[in-house]
Amino acid sequence: MKSSDAKALAVLWVKAQPTVASFIRVMVPDPEQAEDVLQETAVDCVTKFHTYDRSRPFDAWAVGVARYQVLESRRKYAREKHVFDDDLVDRIASGYQRQSERAESLRMALQGCLREASEQGRRALELFYGSRRKTAQVAVEMNMTGDAVRQLLSRTRHALRRCIESRMAAQGE
Amino acid sequence: MTTTLPELTTALFSGEITSEEMDTLRSQLRGDDSTVDEFVWECLLADGLQQVLSDRTALDPAALVEQAVESADLAALPRVERWLAPAWDLIKQPLSLAMIVSSLVITTILLSLELWTLPEHQPAAVAGRPTFVAKIVAISFATFDAASDGNLKNRDLFDDDQIVLNSGLAVIEYDTGARVVLEGPATYHIAGANGGDLRLGKLVARVDTAAAHGFAVAVPGARVVDLGTEFGVEVAADGQSDVAVLTGEVELIGANNGAGSKQRLRLSANEAAMVTAGSGLIAKQSEANPAWMGKMVVLQSTLETGTKASTYTAQTGEGRLAAHAAPPEVVGAGIANLPSRPGGEIKLWNDIPVVGQTFSIGDTPLILNAVTVHCATDVPPTKEYVLRVGHVSGDNFVVVAQRSAQQYDSIRANDYLTFSLDPPVTLLANGRYGFDVGMVASSTEWRDGLPYLFRSADSDYDGGSAYRSGDNGEGNSTISFIHHDLIFHLDLSALEVPADDAASE
């Protein structure tokens, strides 16, 4: 690979990886397998980079490469139970490709919007998403019922989403 | 039961989704594109929350793509690329007894008829003049010994050259077409135009050209002579060797047994033997040890996928240290904690832990060019410091780059000490990093002056915290936070897409 291509790819990949990784994590629930698929996707992106049309979004192209690797990994780990069948993998990959342009804006807005979340809501998000606690564990730690935690998470996430969308709208997204 | 898409997505991410809910989710996703887009949006949000709120460090994209480029370059080598499939097939197929028996019978008959004349090793060197015989055509995270350190890719190898590979992989291509993949730690000696001596470590060789027929690898006590094949060899630290054939055949020729004859043994695909170093005794094994064969396959598969078996080696090198009376100006993407008054001092010496500071990177990746800290004391030369930069996750520190720097001139109290990073270090968006400074050596006594770094009065930098790590002036992978911040400045610049320089190449 030419060094100019390698540098350009490196910059594009650094920006695209969160979206590609998100797609893979949804498709491949096992974290270690998901990392393997991500690594293989990166290698595939390098070897196929000459086929990438630079006038089109790189993130969407990389998701397409990841889609192929997800399907490949299923053949390798055939005994694993799949969350989605091949048809749904294709549909969801297409969804990620359509949303790839907005994904970075979402991540950027998310940080700011988290600061606006209520203290209790943020605590619930930290336990549920950050520490990967189950709802029942969050309920124990926050001295709430499971239903109350679910409602709190739902409200907080809804508020986050409104905040993110309004920030993105303000930026013309 | 949960039925809305956001709730179903949440349940999916937490692993709490029931099979009934999963069916509902699948059914909804078979609807129109807007439902799929909605689901993707929820996934991106949930995934973003997991990444932002978790202490776990995601795979470093910059390191990942660097590895991918290297491994893709390796995989692009035409012959190497074809290795994996047959090797996997061999591993997957149990060795049949009939195959062993038939190969033994055929081997015995052929040996007794002396149908094969094995070419002996012929040194290629002409007296007084080295002969080019091979080249290192690819490396992957390879580190070589001090004498030959550096990027040896494309380096020509001559008869009698020795390669000491401390870690990683190196692919050697002989002029005859034979290829050897060496995995460090390994010591390999180029022996003639079509062979080598493996003194330590493991290799896989592939010989598929007529010119390379008879390619030989010497191990302590024996030689492995190729007869058109792929084979793996490992030499342990005690000199004992394991040899296995992946495809084709090899002949093992033992050292002279004292009676004027040499022990000879042919091995076919998936057969293996052990060589005892001192006696040169060759013992055939009933079948290759699956775990050991697995190692050979990993070596091959590394060439294919690049990243599994090789270890990421942090950037290391020489740094530069400069002292200035004033702090650097905070420009561009720079980060600094430069309060008007220091709040205290933290000592550096070579019998205590290193001192560091964590910091956070915003929404765009950046390049770290230099790190500056504020020195509180007069410090006489000569001293050696080590600056580390690494990922921080919780109290875990993973080194990304490390530089040693010498202090040759006196440092005065209140000087700002700038460690320059050349090459600079890429820092990823939304990442948590740390830098630390340790003093590892001094030519003067502590009584003559020792470095203290200024810290702020309180924890007034929001993006991180000061910490200590390791001991004896050397940091390790665990950090202990201090409720303060160092006084520091980071010279950061934006990571930009370079102009296409293809024309200049």
Amino acid at B340: S
Tell me the shortest Cα–Cα distance from B43 to chain A, in angstroms: 7
Q: Spell out the residues 6+ positions from residue B418 whose beta carbon is closer than 8 angstroms to its own.
A: B321, B322, B323, B324, B328, B370, B371, B372, B489, B491
Q: Do B48 and A26 touch (CB under 8 A)?
A: no
Return the pLDDT at B345.
Answer: 85
Whether the CA torsion A144, A149, A155, A156 is positive or negative: it is positive
Chain B residue with Cα closest to A138: B14
Please report where in the chains the tokens 């038939």 appear, as a residue.
B102
Burial B95-133 (b: 16+ CB within 10 A, else e): beeebbeebeeebeeeeeeeeeeeeebeebbeeeeeeeb
Burial class (CB in 10 A: 0-12, 13-18, 19+), B36: buried
Give yes or no for a contact between B466 and B356, defined as CB atoms under 8 angstroms apart. yes
Q: What average pLDDT does this structure show over B95-122?
A: 30
Interatomic CA distance for residues B327 and B488, integer angstroms? 9
| Packed helices A31-47 and A58-76: angle between N→C axes, nearest 10 degrees | 120
Give the three-class secondary structure for B430.
coil
Residue B15 confidence class, pLDDT cut points 50, 70, 90:
confident
- A-B CB pairs within 8 A amount to 188
For residue A40, give how far its alpha carbon lies from the nearest alpha carbon of chain B (Å). 7
B133's tokens: 């015989």
* Per-chain mean pLDDT for chain B: 75
Residue with tokens 């094949």: B229
Q: How far is B106 from chain A (nearest CA, A)?
A: 37
Residue of B15, B54, B363 with shortest CB distance to A108: B363
Contacts of A107 in chain B (CB under 8 A): 44, 48, 52, 363, 430
Token readout for B128 is 């007084």
CB atoms within 10 A of CB B424: 19
Core vs surface per residue A33-72: b (16+ CB within 10 A) or e: bbbbbbbbbbbbbbbebeebeeeeebbbbbbbbbbebbee
pLDDT computed for residue B43 by the predictor: 92
Question: For residues B440 and B437, what is the distance between their CA atoms, to the nearest angstrom?
Answer: 10
B61/A19 CB distance under 8 A:
no
Distance to chain A for B505, nearest Cα, Å: 8
**Residue B127 pLDDT > 50:** no
In the structure, what pLDDT confidence band is assigned to residue B88 with cuts at 50, 70 and 90?
Answer: very low
Average of per-residue pLDDT across B90-99:
30
In 3D space, the residue among B252, B162, B242 whose CA is nearest the CA of residue B202 turns out to be B242
Give the one of A1, A38, A129 whose C-beta lies nearest to B59's C-beta: A38
Residue with tokens 């692919």: B171
Residues of chain B with pLDDT > 70, as a percent, come to: 72
- What one-character-per-residue DSSP string does B285-343 give? ESS--HHHHHHHHHHHHHHHHSSSSSPPPPEEEE-EEEEESSPPP--TT-EEE--SS--
Structure tokens at A101: 């342009």
Q: How many CB atoms lie within 10 A of CB B175?
A: 16
Q: Which residues contact A24 (CB under 8 A, 6 or more apart)?
A: A34, A37, A38, A41, A66, A69, A70
Mean pLDDT within B405-431: 83
Region at B366 (left for phi over 0; alpha for psi -120 to 50; beta for the rest): beta
Here the ipTM equals 0.92
CA distance A111 to chain B (A): 8
Cα B131 to Cα B192: distance, rounded to the nearest angstrom: 9
φ, ψ (nearest 5 deg) of residue B18? -85, 165
Q: Which of B210-214, B362-366, B429-433 has the highest mean pLDDT?
A: B210-214
% of residues, chain B, pLDDT over 90: 22
Beta-carbon separation of B62 and A14 below 8 A: yes
Contacts of B20 (CB under 8 A, 6+ apart): B1
Per-residue pLDDT tens digits for B134-188: 888 776 556 777 555 444 656 778 888 888 888 767 788 888 888 888 887 899 9
Contacting residues of A for B28, CB less than 8 Å apart: none
- For residue B19, give both structure tokens: 């099979």
pLDDT at A79: 46
pLDDT mean values, one per 10 residues, chain A (173 residues): 76 87 88 81 88 88 92 66 81 91 86 88 91 89 91 92 89 66
Which residues does chain B have within 8 Å of residue A35's beta carbon, measured at their own beta carbons?
Answer: 59
B504 pLDDT tier (thresholds 50, 70, 90): very low
How does pLDDT run across B269-286, given as a tens digit for each residue? 778 898 887 777 888 876
The pLDDT score that the predictor gives to residue B296 is: 62
Q: Which residues of A touch B16 (CB under 8 A)?
A: 134-135
**With contact defined as beta carbons under 8 Å apart, do B487 and B336 qualify?**
no
pLDDT value at position B337?
A: 94
DSSP structural state of residue B153: T
Contact at CB, A17 and B14, closer than 8 angstroms: no
Which phi and psi angles does B337 have, rounded to 5°?
A: -125, 95
Averaged over B367-385, what is the pLDDT? 90
Which tens digits make up the pLDDT trace of B193-247? 899 999 999 898 888 788 888 899 999 989 999 887 788 899 998 889 999 887 7
**What is the rounded CA–CA span in Å between residue B457 and residue B464?**
15
**Over residues B57-83, mean pLDDT:** 56
Check A161 against B76: CB less than 8 A apart.
Answer: no
Residues of A in contact with B44 (CB under 8 A): 19, 22, 99, 103, 106-107
Q: From the CB of residue B199, how many other CB atoms can be counted at a distance below 10 Å? A: 16
**8 Å CB contact between B177 and B212:** yes
Instruction: Give pLDDT, residue B123.
Output: 35
Please, are residues B222 and B278 in contact by the beta-carbon 8 Å criterion?
no
- For an interface test with B, the pick among A3, A9, A14 (most B C-beta atoms closer than 10 Å) comes out as A14
Cβ separation of A47 and B54 shorter than 8 Å? no
pLDDT recorded at residue B119: 31
Please tell me the distance from the alpha carbon of residue A121 to that of residue A133, in angstroms, as a whole number: 15
Burial pattern B236-265, b for ≥16 Cβ within 10 A else e, equals eeeebbbbbbbbbbbbbbbbeeeeeeebbb
Q: Which residues pair with B438 in a beta bridge?
A: B386
Contact B59 A21 (CB under 8 A): yes
β-pairing, B315-318 vs B396-407, is: parallel
Please give, rounded to a whole number of angstroms, the shortest distance from the CA of A79 to a CA of chain B: 16
